[in-house]
Amino acid sequence: MGESRPAVKVVHQVLATLGYGDAIAHEVLGIQRVLRSAGYESDIFVETADPRVEDLTRDYRELPACSASENVLIHHFSIKSRASRVAFALPNRMILVYHNITPSEYFVDVNDDLVELCYLGRRELSAYAPRVQLALGDSEFNRQELEASGFTPTGVLPVIPDFSHLDVAPNRLTAGAFDDESVNVLFVGRVIPNKKIEDVIRFFDAYHRRHNPRSRLLIVGSYGGFEQYHAMLQDFIARRGTCHVHFTGHISNEELAAYYDVADVFLCASEHEGFCVPLVEAFYKEIPVLAFAATAVPATMDGAGILYDRKDEAHVGALIAAVASDERLRAEIIDGQNAALERLRQKDFGRCLLGFVEQVAAGPRPAAPAVTADFWRQFDRAERLEELRLYRPSLCRALPKA
């Protein structure tokens, strides 16, 4: 006789938005693959989605009709959203996966909407502590934040070491222009304030001026929604007189693979990370990594690469010079990164995920969510108001503010 599976047959996921090519999207899709392979019915419900992956999702407003107390709902919590509040009110057993929320102060004077969403998201997080049966961080740093917010039990669901998006034919039409004798210092990630792109620029400038004028900085990532921050960075570059800084904006996987191929050093100055997937992408592409030792970054590096703990541009510029010019040092760093990557790959993500699902499925049924009696009536009204705001804005503006 084989092992009996718990009665749960449906494990859906819900999140605010499914992006294209970002770390959360890779994890969500990887979770779905594992669940479906194990025989569970599993769909992804979202509030919004990138058009390139929208066909993989369902609208979160369909989720109530697909919910039942014997089902498990994996709720990816990363920001305040309507999808999050609907998930709270449903009868499902719930696993919360926390991807961390950037502190709102990083977005002051840059993106007012995110200031509000991040502030309210962090405040809203603790409300889920009595609601969920299990809270998981995708790093130990995130798990500790959950524990500090009152969640119990907690655990770590390791990030999936999936690099299939980099195992593509590189598109060299753009990156090929940088495949020459110059040293390419690379940063990959969204161009947003907590990544401290201005520090990356400062450190590169010190290296470029003091050590190697035949070098350039490649900043690979979208600045959509952060055009003001991007403009501030351009002004910063102009005032410093820094040369050879290139912003790519959002790019395809084929272009990303090409930029990794031409890179000589990966430089990260981020001050807030829940995990930081580009670090392990650089490990995979065998690019020496220099990263600021903040939040989850040291754990992600797992003893590999080079961590620096003071943001002194002369110091970091000299580190870049040493890594870029010393072949023996580069080889030692890459060997260490390969070992760290192998340790990450040895973590059995699928077995870990299914173990957490079965733990929740085998536990007692949760109490009914603590929501007001008219929650769903208010939800319907809010949806109708949102439709007016989107499609009849003049009528919406004419409504009483109350």
Superfamily for 11-161+348-371?
Answer: Glycogen Phosphorylase B; (3.40.50.2000)
pLDDT per position as a tens digit, 147-195:
999 999 999 998 877 788 899 999 988 788 899 999 999 999 999 999 9
Percent of the chain with pLDDT over 70: 90
Q: What is the pLDDT of residue 388?
A: 63
B/e letters for 142-171, b = 16+ CB within 10 Å, e = fewer, are: bbebbeebebeebebbbbbbebebbeeebb
H/E stretch holding 331 = helix 327-346
Q: Is the distance from CB of 299 to CB of 141 less than 8 angstroms?
A: yes
Grade residue 371 by pLDDT with cuts at 50, 70 and 90: low
Beta strands 245-249 and 215-220 are parallel
Q: Is the pLDDT of residue 382 over 80?
A: no
Q: Is the distance from CB of 80 to CB of 120 less than 8 angstroms?
A: yes
Name every residue whose Cβ is closer than 8 Å to that of residue 33 and which is 6 or more positions away in sequence.
Answer: none
Q: Which CATH class is domain 172-346?
A: alpha beta
Average per-residue pLDDT for the chain: 90
Least confident of 2-16, 199-213, 288-302, 344-358: 2-16
Q: What is the pLDDT of residue 1?
A: 41
Measure the CA–CA gap between 340 and 347, rounded to whole angstroms. Answer: 11
* Phi, psi of 41, deg, nearest 5: -75, 130
Q: Is the pLDDT of residue 4 over 60?
A: no
Q: Is the pLDDT of residue 5 over 60?
A: no
Grade residue 249 by pLDDT with cuts at 50, 70 and 90: very high
pLDDT per position as a tens digit, 69-91:
999 999 999 777 888 888 988 99
CA separation, residue 390 to residues 20, 352, 396 (Å): 24, 42, 9
Q: What is the pLDDT of residue 384?
A: 67
Q: What 3-state class would DSSP assign to 100? A: coil
Task: Using CB atoms within 10 Å of the CB of residue 65, give its burial: 0 to 12 exposed, 13 to 18 middle, 19+ buried.
Answer: exposed
Measure the CA–CA gap between 204 and 184, rounded to whole angstroms. Answer: 10
Handedness of CA 231, 232, 236, 238 (dihedral sign): positive
pLDDT per position as a tens digit, 211-235:
999 999 999 999 988 999 999 999 9
Domain spans of the chain, in order of start: 11-161+348-371, 172-346
Q: Is the pLDDT of residue 2 over 50?
A: no
- Whether 172-346 and 11-161+348-371 are alike in CATH topology: the answer is yes
- Which amino acid is residue 228, in one-letter code? Q
Measure the CA–CA gap between 315 and 307, rounded to whole angstroms. Answer: 12
Measure the CA–CA gap between 168 and 175, rounded to whole angstroms. Answer: 15
**For 38-163, where are the alpha helices, taking DSSP H only?**
82-89, 112-125, 140-148
